[in-house]
Amino acid sequence: MSASLPVLQTVPQTDVGLLGAAQPCTLSQCRPGSRATVIGLDDCGTDEACRLRALGLCEGTSVSVIDARHAMVLDVRGTRLALSSAITAGITVQPLPAVRSARG
Amino acid sequence: MSELVVPVVERTPPTPPQAADASVLRLALIGNPNTGKTTLFNALTGLRQRVGNFAGVTVERVEGFFRTASGTRVSCLDLPGSYSLSASSPDEQIALEVLLGRARDGWRPDVVVVVADAVHLERNLYLLSQVLEVGVPVVLALNQMDAAEASGISIDIPELIHELGIPVVPMIAKRGQGIDALGRACETAVTLPAPVRKFALANAVDDALAPIASQLEVAGFKPSAARLEALRLMSVQHAEPHLEHISGLEDVRKQAVTTLAQIGLAPQRLESDARYGWIGEVMARTTSTREQDGRTISDRIDSVALHRVIGPVLFIALMAIVFQSVFTWAAPLQDAIEGGIAALGGIVGGWIPEGELRSLVVDGVFAGVGSVLVFLPQICILFLVIGVLEDSGYMARAAFLMDRVMRRVGLHGRSFIPMLSGYACAVPGIMATRVIENRQDRLATIMVVPLMSCSARLPVYTLLIGSFIPVSTLPLGFGLQGLTLLGMYLLGTLTALGVAAIFKRTLLKGPVRPMILELPSYRWPSLPTLGVTVWQRAMLFVRRAGTVIMSLSIVLWAMATYPRTAPDPLLPEVAQQEQQLEQSVLGRVGKVIEPLVRPLGYDWKIGVSIAASFAAREVFVSTMGTIYGVGGGDDNAAALGERLKAEVDPITGRPVYSTLVALGLMVFYVYALMCVSTTAITVREAGGGRVGWSWAAVQFGYSLVLAYGAAWLVFNVGRALGFGG
C-alpha cells in the first residue's frame, strides 16, 4: 500500500574516506564489525517495520554489526538486537567507515 | 473497589493527596521488557497480588496493593512489557486500552508509572513519549541507576525533569532504593495537570492528521490521546480492535495517508522520526557517556554464550541442568509430600469410624489433596530455574540459539523450554509457555507439551518394559529394554514437533514472524523477585488447577467405590478389592468399553485401568495392581509383572499380554492425555472459560485419536507381520 512511498528526508552524507563512496546495500550484506546508517525499512513488511521502529531501529539510525550468521546481532542505540536474515535482507543501509567504538 | 475521589481529568481542580486517604489511587505500571518492571512491582506490592486474565484474552492481569509512606492506598496494575503503544500484539493492545481508559473491565489509571532502564534511556524514552500523551499524569521511574553508573552513563535528573515536565525518580528497584520516593512522586503527580506532547509536528502534518483526531475526540478520546492515536495510526496497516467501532475512521485515516504522501512524506516513519528527533535533543541535554571500549561485559559473555561451538554446548549443558532439576531434585520432595499427606490421612482416618466417611476422607479427600500438592516441588523448581534464566538475560540467548531449529516446525525459540519441561511434567511445562509472546505459538506449544513423555508415564513404561521386553544386550552395549524406553521418549518428542507443525498450518495458522529479539544485558537475578514469582505460580496452580484436580479425584474415588457390593469375606483382602472394583461404576465402564479396546488387543481389565487412569496415568499401575489382586504400591510392581505374564484369556487360552500388546499399550500411553491436572492447566493457560475448555477439548481429543490409532497400528500391523498376538 504505502510501502513504496518516496522518502523525503535524505540520509546524512558521510565521509567515506579512503574506502570510496560505498553503495547502499541491504543490512544482511554487512560484515561483523561494520557500521551502517539505516535508509529504509520498506522491504520488511509494515508490522515488522513498526516493531523495529519501536525498538529504536528506524530511518537515520546508525547500527553496528556485532555478529552475523543465520541471524544478526546488532548494536542499536546501545541495545543489542537479534534479527533473522528475513528481516536484515529487508533493511536498506548506507555503510559507514569502520569506527572502533560500538556506541554512537 | 471503592469509588475514586481524586479527580485527575485534565482541567479539573486538583484535590490535595491528603483527601485521598480513604480512597484508592490507581496506578498503572508500564515499561519496556527487561527494565526491572516486575522487580519494581514486587518491591512495591510484595505478596499482596491478585493474578487473573484480562477479560476475553489470554493476557495475564496482575494487580497488586500497597500503601505509600504517607498512607495512601494504591492499587497497582502491572501492564505487559511493551516497547511501544503500537497494539501489534495482544499484550500491547491491552496496555494501550488500559492507558487510554478503555479497558473492558472499567479500570482507569489515575497515574501511570513508566519504568525505564537508565542504561538504555534513549530507547525507553520512545514509550515514555507516547505515554505522555494519553492524558493521564505520568511518573518516570528511572531504574537500574547502578548499572548506568557502572557503564559510565551519567544522567542529569533535574534537567530531565525539566525536559519531560513530569516527576522523575531515580531508583535501584532490586535493592528497594527509591520505592518511597516513587510513592511520593505518584501522590504529587495526580495533583498536576496531565502532560502534553513535547514536540511539534510540521503544520502540514498537523493539518493532515486533524480529521482523524477530531473523529476520535467525538468518539470520547481526550484531545491529547486523540492526537497520539492519529499519529500512531499512520504507521500501522489498519485500525486496531479498540478503534474498529468508530465509524468513518478508516476513511479519514486513508485520506491522511494519501495527503501526506502527496506532500512527499512517508506516513509510516512519521511517528518514529518525530519522537526520536525529540529524544535525540533530550538525550543531548541530559545524559553524557564516558567514552568506553565498545565491548560491554554482556558482549564479552555473549562471545562465549553465543559462540558457534561453545554456545550450543553450553546451552545443552544448561538444559540438562534444567531437566535434571525438575526430574530428579523434585522427586524426594514429592515423595515427602505424598508420604506426609498419606500419613496425615491415616491419622485423621483413625479418628473416623470404619465406613463410607472414612473412605471418602482418606481415599477421596486426602488422596485428592495429595495429587494436587505433589506437583508443587516440580512447579516451584521449574519456575525458579526459568526465573533465573529469564532474569539473568540468558533466556533471550537460548531463544536466539534455538530459533532456527524451532522455526522449522513453525514454533518460536522460546517454545523449547516449556517442551523440555514437559519431560518432567506437562503442568509446569504448560505454565512455562507464558514466556512465548505470540498467542498462536503459545497455544501450539501448549497443545503439544503433553506429548513429551512425563515422569508419570515412567511407572507404566517400567512395568511393561520390565515384564515384556527381554533383557538382551545389543551391539555397542545397548540394552533392548533401555532402547525401548528411549524409543518411547523419542516417539513422543518427534510427534510433538510434527503435531506442532500441523497446528501451526491449520487451527493456529499465522505468519511465522521473523525473529526480532532484544538480547538484554546480563544481570544478577534478584532473589526476592524470584521468590515472589515462584510463590505466585505455586498459588495460582493450587487455586485454579487444584480445585479441579481435587474435585475430579473425589469423583473418581466415588466411581471406583460405588455401588457398594458385599464381597465374599472368605476371600483375601486384595481379591475383595478386585470384586468391589469389578462391580463399581468404573468396573462397569470397563466392561462397556471392552468392545472399543478389543481391536487393540486389550481385555476389560486393561479397559478399566485405562478408564481409571483418565485422571492420572500413574493410576494405571495401581488399578492394575488392584484388579490383579496384588495390591497397589511400588513393592508390588514386580509381583504384578509376574502376574501379568501369567494371565491367560479365558476363551482362547492364550496369554493376554504379548510383547505386542505391551508395546501397543506403551504407545497408547505415549500419546493419550490421561491427566486431569494437564487438562485443568490447559483450560487456564489457554484463556480460561469457554475458550480454555475448547482448547483443552481439542488437546484431549487429538491425543486420544492419536493414541488409539497408534496402538491399533502397532497391534494389527505387528500381528500381520507375524509377531505373535
Please give the grid coordinates belonging to residue B218: 467525538
Spatial CA neighbour of B670 closest among B635, B713, B641, B627: B713
Task: Tell me the residues of chain A between 21 and 80 that have a Cβ less than 8 Å away from chain B.
Answer: 41, 46-56, 58-61, 64, 66-67, 69-71, 73, 75-80
Q: ipTM strictly over 0.85?
A: no
Residues in A closer than 8 angstroms to B293, CB to CB, are: 101
3 state DSSP class of B656: coil
3 state DSSP class of B541: helix
- pTM, two decimals, is 0.79
Task: Tell me the residues of chain B between 481 and 540 that have a Cβ less than 8 Å away from chain A.
Answer: 513-521
Q: In B267-384, which ranges are E strands?
A: 287-289
Question: Is B269 in CB contact (< 8 Å) with chain A?
Answer: yes
Query: Does the beta-carbon distance from B122 to A48 stay under 8 Å?
Result: no
Average pLDDT over residues B566-584: 74
- Angle (CA) B517-B519-B522 rounded to 5° is 160
Task: Tell me the residues of chain B between 201 and 260 that have a Cβ less than 8 Å away from chain A.
Answer: 235-237, 257
Average pLDDT over residues B663-690: 87
Query: Does the beta-carbon distance from A58 to B308 stay under 8 Å?
Result: no
Start-to-end Cα distance in chain A: 34
CB-nearest partner of A46 from B236, B515, B518: B236
Given this model, what pLDDT does residue B370 score? 76
Residues in A closer than 8 angstroms to B300, CB to CB, are: none
| Cβ neighbours around B555 below 10 Å, total | 15
Å from A29 to nearest chain B CA?
Answer: 18
Instruction: Taking each helix axis as running N to C, give the angle between helix B458-468 and helix B659-671, from 0 to 180 degrees, rounded to the nearest 10.
Output: 170
| Cβ neighbours around B89 below 10 Å, total | 19
Region class of A79: left (phi > 0), else alpha (psi between -120 and 50), else beta? beta
Å from A31 to nearest chain B CA?
Answer: 16
Q: Phi/psi at A37 (nearest 5 deg)? A: -105, 135
| Cβ neighbours around B491 below 10 Å, total | 17
Would you say B371 and B547 are in contact if contact means Cβ atoms under 8 Å apart?
Answer: no
Å from A20 to nearest chain B CA?
Answer: 25
pLDDT tens per residue across span B109-136: 999 999 999 999 999 999 999 999 999 9
State yes or no: pLDDT of B636 exceeds 70: no
Q: How far apart are CA B529 and CA B517, in angstroms?
A: 23
pLDDT tens per residue across span B46-70: 888 887 777 666 677 889 999 998 8
Query: Does the beta-carbon distance from B298 to A58 stay under 8 Å?
Result: no
pLDDT tens per residue across span B216-274: 999 989 999 999 999 999 988 777 778 888 888 889 999 999 999 999 888 889 999 99
3 state DSSP class of A25: strand
Stated as kind and residue range, the H or E segment containing A75 is strand A71-76
CB-nearest partner of A2 from B261, B302, B515: B261
Query: Does the beta-carbon distance from A2 to B299 stay under 8 Å?
Result: no
Q: How far apart are CA B420 and CA B395, in angstroms?
A: 14
Q: Phi/psi at B29 (nearest 5 deg)? A: -105, 125
Given this model, what pLDDT does residue A9 score? 44
Query: Does the beta-carbon distance from B518 to A79 stay under 8 Å?
Result: yes
Given this model, what pLDDT does residue B650 score? 66
Q: Phi/psi at B48 (nearest 5 deg)? A: -85, 70
